[in-house]
Amino acid sequence: MYIRTKTFKNKDGSTRTYLYIVEGKRVNGKVRQRIVANLGRLKKLQEGELDKLIEGLAKFSRRQWIEAQARSIQAQWAKDFGPALIFRRLWEDLKLSSILKELLAGTEIAIDVEEAVFAMVLNRLCDPASKLGVSRWKETVYRPEFERLKLHHFYRALDFLADHKEEIEEKLFERIRDLFHLELDLVFWDTASVYFEGRGAEGFCEYGFSKDHRPDRVQVILGFLMTREGIPIAHEVFPGATADVETFRVVLKDLQNRFRIRRVILVADRGMVSREVKGNLKVKEVWHEGRRYLICFNPEEAERERLSREEMVGKLEEKLRAGGLKGLIGNRGYRRYLKVEGSSAVVDREVLEEEARYDGKYVLETNAGLSVEEAALAYRGLWQVERAFREMKSGLDLRPVYHWTEKRIRGHIMVCFLAFVLEVVLMRRLREVGYEGSYQEVMTDLERLKAVEVTVDGRNYLVRTELEGKAYEVFKAVGIRVPGRVLEVGGEDVVECGGSMPGNR
């Protein structure tokens, strides 16, 4: 059906036009038109009757109704919603809010340091590489408490964290121990160097032995303590020239004085930490000249090393065929696999076979009274510490324009430490409900949950997007209800419209 007009001429030469609804049908191969309805004279209809008719008909048209409703809706903004909800719940579970407020009660600080610290920690968890800076990044997150935070609040919060670092760690450890029923008898300790592009803090950022192979940059030394369950409990920051043995003395004293530990087996090693992965582990105990050794074999690591070597050899042979011998000789990574004969070279198969014998194998020496399995797994657990260093160091690439003070550097590292604690606690909660995915997968799903403010007929509402992937499992794991789909904004309050049960996705 369609609309059709028909015009007639009056005796005085004027015209009149009528509006019809016409239906076209095919009869005996020809299209015939049939008037379904005569709507009346067009001029009279245009005086208001036609508009009423269209509005009435639009109610029965899905497309027209949607378009009409859309004209009354305005989307104001869309902000990240999921991560702030989840990590704030964990923040409260760990009593970090009350810990910080208790410490603030003894100061004359008037700004909301606790909320500023949470904002910086959330930024590290969600967008550590952000070029915007926390003061601008917070505008992309739906958390009304962030709106009152200013740039100088974050600087003041960093100073506060540096001043109260030990007290926060001790109170946080007590809460974690009670929450997860921990026994602190096995502690991992390792150190890493963190270099700066700028001059850093004079007298604190120093030249020293660089584990990053950047002796041309000033650095600090970062030490990290973690339980056998992989939960961070403390960290230390030392001047850049501090030797490892000195950091070891400090941490032993800390464990005895700060955490009241009667018996500690401290696992501290480097070298193979970054090569360790989870997987199967076969161990054999060997005693030699009164010393205890553990010969470990990880089949998964062996396969990874084999594939890595095959890929490297493939690239090496391709370069040899291209005639690039001179460049290969100068490359230490390639040179060890070459057998040079005059002006030509071939891949040294004997070296490859000898190296393959050690794939996935390493030897530990220990004087601890742990079982073979405990000792081997304890060493393998150091991958958690090394990962923590990677997480924390990623935010310490200070460019020349930023000449930070020692206190600000310490405060920033404390923010990274708290962020890592929250990440570990979240993954522990998820493992308890059977989740086997990665942290990155969890964050991807959480970040898809957005809060959108819309205006409908002059009233403001907050609409959340649907939960995707594993987001619902995350809410369940931390014990928080999924927010309602639509929330009405009234003044400073947000009122839920049409409630939401925990299963409402």
Output the pLDDT for position 364. 65
Tokens 């990880």: give the residue.
298
From residue 189, give the alpha-carbon distance in Å to each of 254, 269, 376, 448: 12, 8, 16, 36
Output the pLDDT for position 265. 59
CA separation for the pair 62, 64 (Å, rounded) = 6
Residue 18 parent element (H or E): strand 15-27
Pairing relation of β-strands 265-268 and 186-195?
Answer: parallel
CA separation for the pair 414, 403 (Å, rounded) = 18
What phi and psi values does residue 140 have, to the nearest 5 degrees? -95, 0
Tell me if residue 363 falls in helix, strand or coil: strand
What phi and psi values does residue 465 have, to the nearest 5 degrees? -80, 170
CA separation for the pair 172, 41 (Å, rounded) = 81
Instruction: Please report, in tens digits, the pLDDT of each residue of the chain (505 residues total).
Output: 888 889 988 888 899 999 988 988 888 888 888 888 898 898 888 888 888 888 777 777 777 666 666 666 777 888 999 999 999 999 999 999 999 999 999 788 888 999 999 999 999 898 875 555 888 899 999 999 999 999 899 999 999 999 999 999 999 999 998 888 877 766 777 788 877 766 667 778 888 877 777 788 888 888 888 887 778 889 999 888 888 778 878 887 777 778 876 565 565 554 333 335 344 677 777 787 788 777 778 787 788 788 878 877 887 777 777 766 655 654 555 566 777 776 677 788 888 888 888 887 767 666 666 676 666 666 655 555 565 556 555 544 433 334 478 888 899 889 989 998 999 899 999 999 998 888 888 898 999 999 998 887 778 888 899 999 989 999 999 999 998 888 766 544 444 443 333 334 4
Output the pLDDT for position 104. 92
Output the pLDDT for position 141. 94
Residue type, 219: Q
Output the pLDDT for position 258. 82
Output the pLDDT for position 402. 45
Output the pLDDT for position 240. 84
CA separation for the pair 410, 379 (Å, rounded) = 28
Nearest CA to 425 out of 154, 185, 182, 102 is that of 182
Q: Give the start-to-end residue ranges of the domains of the chain.
A: 2-72, 183-296+363-403, 303-354
Output the pLDDT for position 81. 94
Tokens 């150190």: give the residue.
191
Output the pLDDT for position 271. 38
- Overall pTM surpassing 0.95 (yes/no): no
Tokens 């070459």: give the residue.
338
